Chains A and B, each alone.
Chain A
């Protein structure tokens, strides 16, 4: 399933190398009587194997963008192509399936389910993929081992440190082996040393071929990414390191 590390495609397909392609995306929220344009005609594509940091002041639309990319939300207008599939108009069930197979989420506050053990948390996507227990167990153990969690499998999230909890969250995001990881301030709740460790993990995953799109407001953290996108008022302000 692992994709080749993303280099711009030389072939004729216009979007062949792009994992994600957004075209003229607009998202309007209705807050009371006023309309809020969270995203305003955004056009951007993210290549396979890239590692993006999305930055911008609060209210610039970066969280909205991440939710759209993660198929948690639908744009008001525009086209969203993920892995060659137009997903902008899919229904809730189809979007759930795309999240399950193609996207792994990493959150600022880890978002583990407290009553489940580490193993069960990691197995969560596999549960919804309906894997058989042996296979699912093996995958959870393998993924936990990659993240140095082998001796924590039967613990509850509350018994782990913040850094360990975020590793569990990463393991859960990786369990179904999606191509794209979406991280929302993944180090926001961690001290700088632990944060650096988590960033090292993400960098390594990117080197192994995962496309990572991360929202952050910390320039130190954004420096770990290979590409940076600055947003302002629902539009792209500037881009650094993007392939031409």
Chain B
């Protein structure tokens, strides 16, 4: 009944539009580009923000990262070549944090030593990371080959090492390398596994040289390398004593992260007046990134909105011209017995057919653009289902909103006048 009439009106609409192919096409262009830009911009924006969010999320939204930072030397004093600076997080901090906060589930200490590693004939400057087995779990590194460190390895103080994918490749290590011996400085370690590099994982939190990490039990690192490191630069030797380079704190619930971070902050401030630490909360970054994404979407949305407005005005303009051109037809329909509402329906269907056809073309274009961007600029893009729904909804409503005025105009024509119209 009603649907039949709508179906026939759609057919009539299509017929009228194909009667003026070029005009219909030009009219649609506004909506085509409007919808295409909405879909494409959302895809690019979504791709960019999802990448950022992924990086942050990989750090763990329930984690808090404490990092040792060398304090700025406030007093200008003559630095003797043999002087040593002591700073950073202490094992004591780890113990205190663990005891003071019920919300902390576990803590992972990290000790970093720079040494050259040798595997067979290959050499590579490694970043030796002494840590506990929880590390792999907390920073979400998947084991690619072999296995990660275990609590038992730590207990045994075993000379075992886990390489990153990137480091392993540089050392020409493969799956067969597992069980072979890696020489670090003067010590020998058995390679037991290879884990994912943090390609794309670093973000604001980690440094690029983490790609060449080699993980050993922290007990072993402490025993063999102690807390003092020497950096030989031109003309001087820099000696530093740092107990822990990093402390990763896992909080039991996302809701507790911010309060716990604030608590840790005030605790550390008390024991570290020199501010030789930095505290960062991936959750905070996540929140910030999400806010940025929202702002970005608003900007994109308004640009797309303007182009759709322009497209809609184009449609309205053409439909008004069409109403004038078809005044006589409207008069005939009214004389035959069409109600005003039926004339409105007819013209609304025509504009909606016009705008949704434009929307469909725009959607196709909008899906192609991100694909080209991905190929050409190597930027990730994500087309979400929501943007497709949005595109269809927008083109439909452009047709309805900008069609209503011409349609009402047509319906309100005086049938007698309309019949006389040339």
Write the residues of chain A forming the contact surface with B, with a CB cutoff of 8 angstroms. Answer: 67, 70, 72-73, 92-93, 96-101, 103, 105, 107, 111-113, 115-116, 124-125, 127-130, 132-133, 172, 176
Contact = CB atoms under 8 A, between A and B. Distances in A.
A116 B16 CA distance: 9
A78 B268 CA distance: 97
- Residue among B15, B329, B341 facing the most chain A CB atoms (10 A cut-off): B329
Interface in B1-50: 1, 4-5, 8, 12, 15-16, 19
Contact of A125 (B4, B5, B337, B415): B337
Interface of B: 1, 4-5, 8, 12, 15-16, 19, 328-329, 331-342, 415-416, 419
B415 A128 contact: no
A100 B337 contact: yes
B334 to A, nearest CB: 7
B342 A105 contact: no
Contacts of B341: 93
Nearest to B18: A115
B333 A124 contact: yes
Given A72-B415, A127-B8, A99 B336 contact: yes
Q: Which of B329, B331, B332, B333 has the most CB of A within 10 A?
A: B332
Given A113-B329, A115-B15, A72 B337 contact: no
A140 to B, nearest CB: 14
A198 to B, nearest CB: 19
A94 B328 CA distance: 22
Contact of A93 (B4, B5, B339, B415): B339
A158 to B, nearest CB: 13
B332 A113 contact: yes
The 3 closest A-B pairs by CB, nearest first: A100-B337, A99-B337, A96-B339
B336 A70 contact: no
Given A93-B340, A124-B333, A130-B5, 16 more contacts: A70-B335, A72-B335, A96-B334, A96-B338, A98-B337, A99-B337, A100-B338, A111-B331, A113-B333, A115-B15, A115-B19, A124-B336, A125-B336, A125-B337, A128-B336, A132-B4
Contacts of A101: 337
A105 B336 contact: yes
Contacts of B335: 70, 72, 99, 105, 111
Nearest to A182: B335
A125 B416 CA distance: 18
Contacts of B15: 115
Contact of A115 (B8, B16, B334): B16
Give the interface SS of chain B, mostly helix, strand, loop or mixed.
helix
Nearest to B328: A111
Contacts of B328: 111
Contacts of B331: 111
Interface centre among A93, A97, A99, A125, by most chain B C-beta atoms within 10 angstroms, is A99
Contact of B338 (A73, A112, A128, A132): A128
Given A72-B415, A72-B416, A133 B336 contact: no
A107 to B, nearest CB: 7
Contacts of A112: 332
Contacts of B4: 130, 132-133
A63 to B, nearest CB: 9
Query: Quick one: which of B16, B334, B337, B338 has the most chain A CB within 10 A?
Result: B337
Contacts of B12: 116
Contact of A67 (B5, B333, B342, B416): B416
A130 B3 CA distance: 10
Contacts of A103: 337
Contacts of A107: 419
A97 B337 CA distance: 6
Nearest to B330: A113
Nearest to A63: B416
A92 B337 CA distance: 10
A14 B73 CA distance: 117
B419 A111 contact: yes
6 contacts: A92-B339, A99-B335, A100-B337, A113-B333, A128-B333, A176-B337
A100 B334 CA distance: 9
B345 to A, nearest CB: 11
Contacts of B334: 72, 96
A92 B414 CA distance: 11
B217 to A, nearest CB: 81
